[in-house]
Each structure stands twice: as structure tokens, then as C-alpha cells.
Amino acid sequence: MRRLWGRLSSVNVQKAVWGLEELGLPYERIEAGGAFGRVRDPDYVALNPNSLVPVMEEDGFVLWESNAILRYLARGHDLGGLWPEHPRAAALVDQWLDWQATRFTPATRDAFWQTVRTPPENRDQAVIDRSVAASEDCAAILDAHLMGRPFLVGDRFTAADIVVGAAAHRWLHLDVPRTERPALRAWYERLRARPAADVALPGLS
């Protein structure tokens, strides 16, 4: 039995759900985090001492950290597909997973929290502006890389597109001014056309 703990409004849960859906793997998703609570309950902390989502349980095996979950699923169930077999291609997928976690999502975080989860009267425009500027730097990197490329690594959809695509989904739906970047937008629309993306990527909340 495979269980995934986490609310779908979490970008990290979205990545895990997208991977599971792409692979056609059966799973049960249990609401946790945010308004659903649970993450500080003793039984949940026993699964993830960080009190964060997502957590995946699979026949007694417990794994947290969304990119680690996606790596495990892709390597175990779609080696040569979502996870390339060639070491250099696999290294490039790892590169984009790390970039999403260390650059892109941190850049967008304050703009997301300020414009989506903070009441208008409590928002700090200077914080939003700094976050938007950092996010634009990341978007420019993505757009330049995607010029003439259908996907982030090679000519096929990989785990890199899932993690960066989920972060791009958040960025492109924030109510902030942004530079239109044609290559990034075309890539995002290719990802959104995938049935698994419809399940994994809801509106922002």
C-alpha cells in the first residue's frame, strides 16, 4: 500500500502527486499540513521529524523530502524515462532538481506568501518586490535554457520538468508584474497539456 501525506496546495506535494500520476502508480493521498493540521501530531512526527509535507509510506518504507520521493519513484519505476539511464543526462536532471530547491522556489516564496496567503493590509511591498526580482532572474535563466528545447533535459519529459514545472506553475499564477518569456511559457503549456498535470496543479491557495 502506498500513501502520500500532504495537501495539494503545497508545491512540494504537487511534485510527488505529479510523479505518481505520470507513472500510473496507485496511491492514497491523506490531507495534512496547513489548515488540515496533523503534521505536529506524534504519529506524524514519527514519520517526518521535520513536521512538513509530503511524506510517502510504501509497505513500511517511509520517505520525506519531495525531490527525494520523486527520485525514488522515477528511478524505481521509469528508469530510462522520467529518470534517464545515461549518467550525464541523469546528472542534468539532478542539477535542475537542486536548482528548483535552492534557487527558484526560494526566490518565489515571499511573493507567494505575501500575495496569496497574507491579507492585503498586512503585505510588505518591499518584500514582494525583492522576491519578484529574484524570481525574474530565475525565469530568465529558464527562458534562455528552453529556447529551442521542448523540455529541460534532452528531447523528452523527465523528473526535471515536474519539479521545475510545479515551481513555474506557482510563479506564473502570482498576481505580480512579470516579463513575458515565450520559451518558458511554451514549455509550461506543453506540461499543462499532460493529464497528470491536471491532477497535480490546482489553483493557488
What value does the mean pLDDT take over residues 11-33? Answer: 97
Confidence of residue 180 (pLDDT cuts 50, 70, 90): very high
The pLDDT assigned to 26 comes to: 97
**pLDDT score of 205 more than 90:** no
Measured between alpha carbons, how far is 104 from 134 in angstroms, rounded to an integer? 8
The pLDDT assigned to 204 comes to: 61
| Residue 50, C-alpha cell as written in the block | 521535520
What value does the mean pLDDT take over residues 101-128? Answer: 97
More confident residue, 40 or 203: 40
Task: Give the predicted TM-score (pTM) of the model.
Answer: 0.96
The pLDDT assigned to 127 comes to: 98
Domains annotated on the chain, with CATH? 2-77 (3.40.30.10), 87-198 (1.20.1050.10)
Give 177-196 as a DSSP string.
-----HHHHHHHHHHHTSHH
**pLDDT score of 129 more than 90:** yes
The pLDDT assigned to 115 comes to: 97
Confidence of residue 202 (pLDDT cuts 50, 70, 90): confident
The pLDDT assigned to 92 comes to: 98
* pLDDT digits 0-9 by tens, 133-142: 999 999 999 9
What value does the mean pLDDT take over residues 153-172? Answer: 97
Enclosing H/E stretch for 15: helix 11-23
What value does the mean pLDDT take over residues 20-44? Answer: 96
Residue 106, number of CB atoms within 10 A of its CB: 15
Measured between alpha carbons, how far is 177 from 166 in angstroms, rounded to an integer? 19
The pLDDT assigned to 1 comes to: 84
Give 111-179 as a DSSP string.
HHHHHHSS-GGG--HHHHHHHHHHHHHHHHHHHHHHTT-SSSSTTS--HHHHHHHHHHHHHHTSSS---
* pLDDT digits 0-9 by tens, 168-178: 999 999 999 99
* pLDDT digits 0-9 by tens, 53-99: 999 999 999 999 999 999 999 999 988 899 999 999 999 999 999 99
